[in-house]
Amino acid sequence: MHAVSVGEVVSATGLLRALRAELPDAPLYVSVSTVAGRAVAEERLRGIAEGVFYAPIDYALFVRRVFRTLQPRAVVVLETEIWPNLWREAKRFGCALVVVNGRISDRALPRYRRLKAFFRPILGLADAILTQSEQDRARYQELGFETAVCAGNLKYDFAPAGAPPHVLRRVIEASRPVRVWVAASTMPPAQPGDPDEDEAVIAAFQKVARPGLLLILVPRKPERFDSAAALLTREGIPFLRRSALTGTETLDLPGAILLDSMGELSGVFALADIVFMGGTLAHRGGHNILEPAAYGKPVIAGPHMENFAEIAEKFTAARAVLRISSAAELPCALESLLNDPARDGIGERARLVAEAERGATARAAREIVARYWQAVPRRFSRARWLLAPLTRIWLLGGAWKRRRDVARQVRLGTPVVSVGGIAVGGAGKTPAVLWLAGQFDNVAVLTRGYRRKVKSDIILNLGAAAPTAETGDEAQIYLRARVGPVGIGADRGRVGREVEARFAPSLFLLDDGFQHARLHRDFDLVVLDGLDPFAGGAVIPLGRLREPVEAVRRADAVLVTRVSRADGVEAALRGAGYKGPVFTGRVVADKWVDSTTGEPAEVPERTGAFCGLGNPASFWATLRSAGVEPEFRRAFPDHHKYTREELEELGSGVDALLTTEKDAANLPGDWRGRALWLRIRLEVERGEELVGLIRERVRR
């Protein structure tokens, strides 16, 4: 979600909660544009969002760095953030782009109209624009986005934050107020003739002051806290600063509490008898009156509600807000609400109006989730012009090698099921091999033993052991899992014949063999990483594809891992000419194992995580889904061989290091620190159907 302000954080919180429920494995990040916005977001979104950061300056260089770091699948833009480079890069990286709570203010509309020729193609990049009102929908359509939809205002779905801070409640209870007036989000003048809202509030307070009246003054911006305190002191009004409260103080009334804190206003509304909403006397466009309305509080608002015109219109028509035209009318309005026993009727009507308009959050979440699964994320090389000729050479060489290997292809007497990919790096092939091994009896695994030091063929029976230097790290996983005999060698046909002669397996599982054309396969299962399915969308070295996407036509089935849906990936595969079935699978945490003892272990409180995978984000996502939050995460190159010095540096200051089973096989024998590796398992949606297809092919 991009560039939310303080007020937008409140409405965004409900949407983020809904997205977290629908997409439990997806990381959520929120960018903000102000210091205050970040403070509120970090407080409100703790446990919901993985991170809060400042929105990058809208230059392609900076935006690309953010996209490469976060690798988002969807970008959600709140309200009127039309940043051309952000929008272009979002689509370039294959992200879904959804505008939520879209609005175009009266002040901004003339500018957009003048620059319509510029903004029209930018708006066309969005996959969906959900507007706050019918008026906003018409304005987006006028600017060129014909399919804009009115989905309602997220702010109507505001959920009250509950009780105010305990220390503040204790002080207020000890002071025994008869009436509590909250002056919320007060602002300075915006143009000549505007009142200073702090001065207007304090002047009104002095005119209506009576025993038992408590004013809670809440300036909108932190830089106004000290000036508000000076103003209260100058006028001789007894007051306490929220930042100095210990909970033991009492306040002589009539008096005031200066709420010089961030993120606590929403809870304070629960204490109010009357609310004045700031930003409405000065030409500031107003602030959101829905928060006090959700508590059923009567609200006074000035003439300037341009930023919330639709809300103001509905509340005014329903007599659910008391409007005043100037600061001079504030004392009279306040007096009427203090004296009118029916003032609670205004608050109740406000609550009913707000509740009648709810539902925008659910509608927005449905649209975002649908677009999320339709997106096909991409990553790009930084030097495409330089690497393009090398990609052409790679393609020519690969085509020649495949023709040669097919001409020399050998066939084993035992059925062979290949589990491979079209990209370099981790896609979840090893978990897929382990899952298939659990579905069939008497299987053997053939693997090349990537990066092993011994070049001769090695065949190991069930339960046998060998050093990683002789087998490679992936073979160690198969040996530890005791899936059956494991044959390791560059020529899988030759190794397979030896395994047949010695162990007579009923089925071979060929690990990472989609490009190994020298061996005939009875079934080809291609595994794609759902987080980056087409590895940059280009062949090595421009991207990380070993072959063009069209090569997947040779596959009998495709398994997209690390996702529960693959709508966009499947559409791209169909576009590339693939006609077979598409399955999805999720990697889930099984248990942690101590790398020294081999026994199950509990994760201590202070941990750090590291891995050497083709796609480190997959391990970070698994940790997140397992509820583990390490103090740091460190990624190394795929199949990295760790040194004792590296691990001692990583292990300094933590109780244990967390890593993958594959990385555990690459730990040095002379390191004496503590590392836990995560045993994982693959859960395949419609797994029985996939196994049935393989059995039928093998039977034939």
Question: How many CB atoms lie under 10 A from the CB of residue 688?
Answer: 9
Q: Are 656 and 607 in contact (CB under 8 A)?
A: yes
String of DSSP letters for 539-575: BTTTSSBSS-GGGGGG-SEEEEES-S--HHHHHHHHH
Residue found by looking up tokens 């059923």 in the block: 296
Query: What's at 380, amino acid-wise?
Result: F
What CA–CA distance (Å, rounded) separates 305 from 185? 13
Is 238 strand, coil or helix?
A: coil
- Pairing state of beta strands 507-511 and 486-488? unpaired
Q: How far is CA 681 from CA 26, 87, 425, 437, 586, in A?
A: 19, 37, 19, 12, 8
String of DSSP letters for 277-327: ESSTTTTS-----HHHHHTT--EEE-S--GGGHHHHHHHHHTT-SEE-SSG
645 classed as catalytic: no
Q: Which of 353, 279, 250 has the alpha carbon at shortest distance from 311?
A: 353
What CA–CA distance (Å, rounded) separates 358 from 153? 8
What CA–CA distance (Å, rounded) separates 522 from 611? 34
Q: Which of 540, 476, 489, 538 has the alpha carbon at shortest distance from 516?
A: 489
Task: Dig out the tokens for 349 from the structure.
Answer: 């009507």
Question: How many CB atoms lie under 10 A from the CB of residue 624?
Answer: 15
String of DSSP letters for 371-399: HHHH-------S-HHHHHHHHHHHHHHHH
What CA–CA distance (Å, rounded) separates 296 from 677? 53
Q: Are 306 and 135 in contact (CB under 8 A)?
A: no
Which one-letter DSSP state was computed for residue 221?
A: S
Q: Are 677 and 663 in contact (CB under 8 A)?
A: yes
What CA–CA distance (Å, rounded) separates 510 from 526? 12
100 backbone φψ class: left, alpha, beta (φ>0; ψ -120 to 50) = beta
Number of H helices and E strands in the chain, helices first, is 26, 25
What CA–CA distance (Å, rounded) separates 295 from 286? 19
Query: Active site residue: 8, 79, 89, 291, which one?
Result: 8
Residue found by looking up tokens 């308009």 in the block: 357
What CA–CA distance (Å, rounded) separates 276 from 334? 9
Q: How far is CA 504 from CA 331, 415, 520, 584, in A?
A: 94, 11, 18, 32
Q: Are 625 and 600 in contact (CB under 8 A)?
A: no
| Centroid of chain to Cα 245 | 37
Burial of 413 (0-12, 13-18, 19+ CB in 10 A): exposed
Q: Which of 20, 39, 36 has the alpha carbon at shortest distance from 28?
A: 20
| Active site members | 8
